[in-house]
Amino acid sequence: MSVDRRSVADKKLTVQGHAQLLVVGAGAAGLAAAIEGARRGLSVVLLDENPVPFETMGESVPLHFGGRVGGVARNRNAMMEAMLESAPDLATAFELGVDVRLGTACWGLYVNGANLGWMPAPLAGLADEEGGTHLVSFERAIVATGRRDMGLAFPGWEQPGVMGATAAVQLATRYGALEGTRAVVLGTTAEALLAALTLQARGITVAAVIEQATAPVGPADLVADLRKSGIELRCGEVVRAVDTDLNGVCGVATRSGPLACDLVVLGIGAVPMVDLLDAAGCELAFHAARGGYTPMLDAAGRTSVDIIQAVGDCAGIWPAKSRDAAIAEAEARQAVAAAAAALGMAGEARPPAPPPGDAPPAEAPYDISAYRQDWVRASVIEATGEPYICQCEEVTACEILDVRPPRYLDWQGADHRRRNLATLLGEEPPNPDQIKRLTRAGMGPCQGRRCREQVQALLALQAAVPLGAVPLAGYRAPVRPLPLKAAAPQAEDAAFGEQWDSWFGMPRQWVPFWDVEDDYTVAGLAVEKPHASE
């Protein structure tokens, strides 16, 4: 049987390192998983992309940092020291022999399956802070990538100072690198209220918490704490416009009057960070009680890809979990117990009993579908002017709903009355991937982190369906932006290079090099010629 030389089969990959247990994310859940794995005798590699390079933070990756990152973030040593001080368990992991790699992003997980069967082992694509990439093999992977915040467009939201709640808290508490002294927080979710209280405790004045609903949706005790701290709560309002100066945000306009601030913190929805899981082929579904699209898990945190598990906020977010890190840590230890058993190294260690309230509630404490759609309706659809939903590609809500192609294709003179969302989709549920390809919304450097939930909400509003009826916009590796040089491996099998002409769109793209004529012209490429196999 002859081998197709154009296939990747039998080509050799350069793999640098191996782990029985690969843990992605060094937050509370990831650290607990790495430490538990080491105590059970597993070889563990622990990855965390933090501290993220200053340039990457400027692209609002992986969180919506919103242009308020202080100059200290340029000092890698200072950022690394701050991270180590903020997570003392990192020292414990080091002492137990965990291979801790900070400043290293995991941009893809690859496992042989129905459409992939040639790899020597499950592989993880890694990128270090200098832009270099390499592959590491693993036997089990635990993903603990955490969460990010839903974006919200309003006039001026592209200005420096508009940022996600998770990014604001991380900059303030972990790095001491948040540039700003006076904040307005949008939303009354548990995560928004916790962020407001945390920022206030860190010396940042919280001028007000603004809520478009007529009453707060977060836990009553947190609302009471908010009022006790002297923070004003304004319900039934949204930000209508942003006042700016040379440094960005200097105030916001609301129905009841202006507010001076240099930070606008978005807390309307904490979103599980499932990009790595989705790109790896794990099955996801919309779970309102878990904060949105989350992986389908069994009791041990196993996804539909058996060797990949998910713990922490990427596995689901609910108020009790946001308030108590012990819940995520218990998830991690239970997942490691299952991973160790699968590897034949269960040992005598037993995970401690989980704390009360560790399981997600049967129902969300409020209707997150209606809540997020109401925010988008009030702030985006009813906004004065047309703010960009997708900042990277400068796409507005009207352009998304009218399915207009990008401006640089000079669509202004075209007639799009026959090609709108309703006629395009017919009776099918609206699909964000289809909208992305036609409008480019979500195709910029931030990889849709600021706009994908807004696009989902817009499509749900247009189709009059709940958020869960709108499919998740797909993720593909690399799930982190990489420099072009990262695509060039340091040591590549010569057999790969022999196929470049047929793989990478060179002049005779679909003809292997051994069938290409010695001399040919561009005009001649239009002539159909039989392949050697025909």
Token pair listed for 384: 């004065």
Could you tell me if residue 87 is inside a domain?
Answer: yes
Domain assignment present for 516: yes
Tell me: pLDDT of 527 over 50.
no
Residue 141 tokens, joined: 């992977």
Boundary (domain end) residue, out of 342, 374, 403: 342
Torsion angle of the four alpha carbons 375, 381, 387, 390, in this order, in degrees rounded to the nearest 10: 70
pLDDT at 534: 42
- What value does the mean pLDDT take over residues 324-335? 96
Q: How is 220-289 classified by DSSP, letter by letter?
A: HHHHHHHHHTT-EEEES----EEEEETTEEEEEEETTEEEE-SEEEE-S-EEE--HHHHHTT--EEEEGG
Instruction: Give the closest residue to 174 by CA, choosing from 88, 290, 267, 60.
Output: 88
**Could you identify the residue written with the tokens 């929805």?**
269
Residue for token digits 């207009």? 404
* Domains contained in the chain, number: 2
Question: Mean pLDDT throughout 303-324?
Answer: 97
Angle in degrees, CA 116, 121, 124, rounded to 5 = 90
Q: Domain ends where: 293, 308, 342?
A: 342
3-state secondary structure of 99: strand
pLDDT band at 532 (very low <50, low <70, confident <90, very high): very low
Q: Percent helix, strand and coil across the chain, each rounded to 5?
A: 35, 20, 45
Whether 181 is in a domain gets the answer: no
Q: What's the chain's average pLDDT?
A: 88
355 part of a folded domain: no
Which token pair is 262?
């240099």
Beta bridge partners of 106: 126
Confidence class of residue 529 from pLDDT cuts 50, 70 and 90?
very low
**357 lies in a domain?**
no
Amino acid (1-letter code) at residue 424: L
| CATH (domain of 283) | 3.50.50.60
Q: Summarize the confidence of residues 47-71 as an average pLDDT.
A: 93
> Is residue 418, in this structure, part of any structural domain at all?
no
Question: Cα angle vertex 224, ends 220, 227, to 5°?
Answer: 140
Exposed e or buried b per residue across 357-374, where buried means at least 16 C-beta atoms within 10 angstroms of its C-beta: ebebeeebbbebbebbbb
Residues pairing with 220 in the sheet: none
122 in any annotated domain: yes
CB 481 within 8 A of CB 445: yes
Q: Provide CB contacts within 8 A for 182, sequence distance 6+.
A: 204, 205, 206, 207, 260, 261, 262, 263
Distance, in Å, from the CA atom of 170 to the CA atom of 199, rounded to the nearest integer, reads 10
Instruction: Name, in order, each residue with C-beta under 8 angstroms of 42's C-beta and a sequence gap of 6 or more.
Output: 20, 21, 336, 339, 340, 343, 345
The tens digit of pLDDT for each residue in 35-55 reads 999 999 999 999 999 999 998
| CA-to-CA dists, residue 342 to 99, 117, 134, 393, 426, angstroms | 21, 21, 27, 45, 47
Return the residue matching tokens 């977010």.
317
pLDDT at 75: 94
Which of 308, 342, 376 is the C-terminal boundary of a domain?
A: 342
- The per-residue pLDDT for 129 is 78
Return the sign of the alpha-carbon dihedral for residues 478, 480, 269, 30: positive
Global confidence as pTM = 0.89
pLDDT tens-digit readout, 367-423 = 999 999 999 999 999 988 889 999 999 999 988 887 777 766 665 655 555 556 666
Q: Is residue 385 part of a domain?
A: no
Find the domain containing 88 and state its range.
15-147+271-342
pLDDT band at 225 (very low <50, low <70, confident <90, very high): very high
Chain center to CA of 37? 25
- Of 156, 213, 157, 154, the C-alpha closest to 189 is 213
3-state SS class at 36: helix
Tell me which amino acid residue 106 is: C
The candidate with the shortest Cα–Cα distance to 317, out of 337, 295, 302, is: 295
